[in-house]
Chains A and B, each alone.
Chain A
Amino acid sequence: MDKGHSVINTSPKIRIIKPKRLEKEGSVLLDIEYVVRDKDGNEVSRKQEYGDSFVANFIKILFCACMKHHAPDTGSVVTLTDTSNTVRTGSVIWAAYNATGTYKCNALSGNDDYGLLVGTGITPTDINDYALDTKIEEGTGAGQMEYGNHSIVNSTHDGSSYSYAGITRTVANNSGGSIVVAEVGLVCYMDWDSSTDRCFLLIREVLGTAVTVLDTQTLTATVRIKCYC
């Protein structure tokens, strides 16, 4: 299933896939880059795609952050679904009590609970997605990859039509076999319904063309948030 396509739902479950046109002017798009390198660090392949698959959790958190939502102190609440498919009812008030605030995605190496994650799933993105379709687990066993730290791509602009900033993470395949990466997700880690941190999917993109990462190779994925004017 080729992502970079929009989905029209018909009642109740039939889906028609049609090519999706991503209008740039006035939009915030996801500019996603994948670089595969061999064990010596030599670049093997590079690929770039555009997407716009922000899911429901993303806009719900932004809504609450914009209004500086007081719930549950005042009784008005918003529900998010965490990556374990558990509905969490809360607000940014809990994140406001924590210095990290909202949208924290910079997981440390070895952590596959949140941050920039990769998977093998090909199911088209649904706005209510709460996790990757099939996440690649942390490790060196069959079908597993080793997740690195994150780094920032600082904000910049072209002077005329767009600005961007991004987050980067490298995953290494030391599983002994090839792994086909077909989806990428961004998961944040934040307080929502209590002072207990939860993991919430913000973005899920199914790649137009899957990326094969051979044993001993690394994949560096960068998700840039790109603002057009």
Chain B
Amino acid sequence: MQAYLTVKKQGTTVINQKSKSFLIGFCGLMIRQWCQDTDTLNDTGGNSHSSGQGTGIFGCRTFAGYGLTRDHIDASNDMEADRCGIVIGSGTGMVAPDDYSLGTQIRSGEKAGTILYCGMVVYGLTIDAGTDQGSFKIMALFKNISGGSIDVKEVGLYMQGQRGAQSYPNVFGYCVLRDNITTVPLADGEFLEVEYTISIST
């Protein structure tokens, strides 16, 4: 399984590369499900959780804005718009397999140093029996309305993990992908589109 990263600024592709960094969060979340057993992972805040399987695992579709956004399957899973899904940052540190977050995340907002997270979609599932390949896409849109230019230097993907049945409100974000990218300066008023293509090939 691999991931490919495309970044578009104002509709023009500026980054198109293979993602280089699946992280411990992905194998940890997967093994909790496979084994229905406890595994210890750091959430995106660096807090360690020894948790088992859950119902909302791998969820990463978030909604526009900032503050809490609604999880339509389970309202108790509400999370902040920039705590799950595709995230952007300004950090430049080397990626390590146990990274639990971006180096320096750019939070969602309208104030100086923030970029508005405009929502995310998961789409484009395809299975090609001819080439034995399958894939789907996760795409997020961002707009800089902070009043100044902001450099985007890293992107990543946070997925949801939780403990127990649907009614359990213990939802956390876990970092599963983190990529350093060539700096993309985003001026006030400009849009950024970030898309990961997750693919398998047997």
Which A residues fall within an 8 A CB radius of B?
A: 6-7, 9, 11, 23, 25-28, 52-56, 58-60, 62-63, 65-68, 70, 78, 93, 95-106, 125-129, 150-167, 186, 188, 224-229
Contact = CB atoms under 8 A, between A and B. Distances in A.
Interface of B: 1-3, 18-24, 26-28, 30-31, 33-41, 53-61, 71-74, 95-98, 121-123, 125, 127-136, 138, 159, 164-166, 178, 198-202
Which one of A7, A28, A54, A227 has the highest number of Cβ atoms from chain B below 10 Å of its Cβ? Answer: A227
Contacts, number: 214
A6 B202 CA distance: 7
Contact of B21 (A26, A102, A129): A26
Contact of A150 (B19, B35, B53, B127): B35
Contacts of A65: 57-59
B41 A155 contact: yes
B6 to A, nearest CB: 14
B134 A59 contact: yes
Given A59-B198, A103-B30, A128-B127, A165 B39 contact: yes
Contacts of B20: 25-26, 229
A104 B33 contact: yes
A225 B57 CA distance: 17
Given A52-B201, A152-B39, A155-B27, A59 B135 contact: yes
27 contacts: A9-B131, A26-B19, A27-B1, A54-B202, A59-B125, A60-B127, A65-B58, A66-B58, A66-B60, A66-B122, A67-B121, A96-B73, A102-B57, A104-B53, A127-B134, A128-B127, A152-B35, A152-B38, A154-B31, A154-B40, A155-B28, A155-B39, A157-B97, A165-B24, A167-B34, A227-B22, A227-B24
